[in-house]
Amino acid sequence: MSLRLGDLAPNFKAVTTAGNIDFHEYLGNGWGILFSHPADYTPVCTTELGKTALLQEEFAKRNVKVLALSVDPLDKHNGWVNDINETQHVTVGFPIIADEDKSIANAYGMIHPNASETFTVRSLFVIGPDKKIKLTLTYPASTGRNFHEVLRVIDSLQLTANYSVATPADWKEGEDVIVVPSISTADAIQKFPKGVKEVKPYLRYTPQPNK
């Protein structure tokens, strides 16, 4: 199954290191990140979950709940968490899903047979409060993800969901944003009192409106 942007994120019930959950209920009215890793007790995955644990407060500030997943069993997850905490100097406080029957991995298209017939690739999904897919990322097993980039994308998604703006290349929180093409320059001047800079009729900048 290939999930696309705007699709409803499949709901599921799962066994996790934080107890049994219903995915949609767990997310509530907030945002969610669901990301898979190929296997427990592997080096790249250990650093990824450690980095995510280091950024737990940053995700919480953005009303984002994070869930990791692999097809390994729960007892293996619990032992591995101890290793992550020890080697990465963190405390993993988010659930790790034990998807032994691969039902969640298959629902989200996390198994790519040409890469591995048994293990999930490094898939990541950002899910909005409407439970729809807002972002998908897929990395090979050999490459760890950049979770600061995931935070940057969350900032952009949350900003552009509430204002008629888009974010330019390499944008970071606090920088100028782009006025969407559907708004005329005259209307943009009224809508964005901090000012509108027109570079071209289709390329207009304004200071980040919620700052």
127 and 35 share a domain? yes
92 and 138 share a domain? yes
- CA dist 181 and 16 (Å) reads 44
Treating both helix axes as pointing N-terminal to C-terminal, what angle do 74-88 and 43-54 enclose, rounded to 10 degrees? 70
- In the block, residue with structure tokens 């039902």: 103
Q: What is the CATH number of the domain that holds 196?
A: 3.30.1020.10
Please report whether residue 135 resides in a domain: yes
Please report whether residue 186 resides in a domain: yes
- CA dist 175 and 177 (Å) reads 7
Higher pLDDT, 149 or 115: 149
pLDDT for residue 110: 85
Catalytic pick from 27, 34, 45, 49?
45
pLDDT for residue 2: 80
60 and 103 share a domain? yes
21: exposed, middle or buried (Cβ count in 10 Å: 0-12, 13-18, 19+): middle
pLDDT for residue 141: 83
Total of domains in the chain: 2
Please report whether residue 6 resides in a domain: no
pLDDT for residue 100: 92
Within 37-193, strands assigned E span 64-70, 96-98, 122-127, 133-139, 165-166, 177-179
Question: pLDDT-derived band of residue 116, with 50, 70 and 90 as boundaries?
Answer: low
134 and 61 share a domain? yes
Please report whether residue 177 resides in a domain: yes
Please report whether residue 154 resides in a domain: no
Percent of the chain having pLDDT more than 70? 95
119 and 167 share a domain? no
What one-character DSSP code corresponds to residue 119?
Answer: S
Domain end point (choices 115, 144, 173): 144
Q: What is the CATH number of the domain that holds 64?
A: 3.40.30.10
174 and 72 share a domain? no
- pLDDT of residue 88 exceeding 90, the answer is yes
38: exposed, middle or buried (Cβ count in 10 Å: 0-12, 13-18, 19+): buried
pLDDT for residue 191: 95
- pLDDT of residue 117 exceeding 70, the answer is no
pLDDT for residue 173: 95
198 and 102 share a domain? no
Nearest Cα neighbor of 46 from 108, 96, 99, 101 is 96
Note the pTM of the prediction, 2 decimals.
Answer: 0.92
Give the range among 94-98, 119-123, 136-140, 162-166 with minimum mean pLDDT.
119-123
Is 143 an active-site residue? no
Please report whether residue 3 resides in a domain: no
pLDDT for residue 122: 84
- CA dist 9 and 90 (Å) reads 29
The CA angle 118-122-124, to the nearest 5 degrees, is: 125
- CA dist 128 and 86 (Å) reads 33
26 and 107 share a domain? yes
Owning domain of residue 182: 163-206
pLDDT for residue 114: 53
Paired sense of beta strands 64-70 and 13-16, if any: unpaired
Kindly report the average pLDDT of the chain as a whole number. 93
Please report whether residue 55 resides in a domain: yes
36 and 137 share a domain? yes
Question: pLDDT-derived band of residue 113, with 50, 70 and 90 as boundaries?
Answer: low
- CA dist 95 and 68 (Å) reads 6
Calculate mean pLDDT across residues 75-104. 95
- CA dist 157 and 211 (Å) reads 16
Determine the straight-line distance between the first and last CA of the chain, rounded to whole angstroms: 40
- CA dist 35 and 66 (Å) reads 8
- pLDDT of residue 93 exceeding 90, the answer is yes
74 and 177 share a domain? no
Please report whether residue 157 resides in a domain: no
- pLDDT of residue 57 exceeding 60, the answer is yes
Question: pLDDT-derived band of residue 18, with 50, 70 and 90 as boundaries?
Answer: very high
168 and 110 share a domain? no
89 and 188 share a domain? no
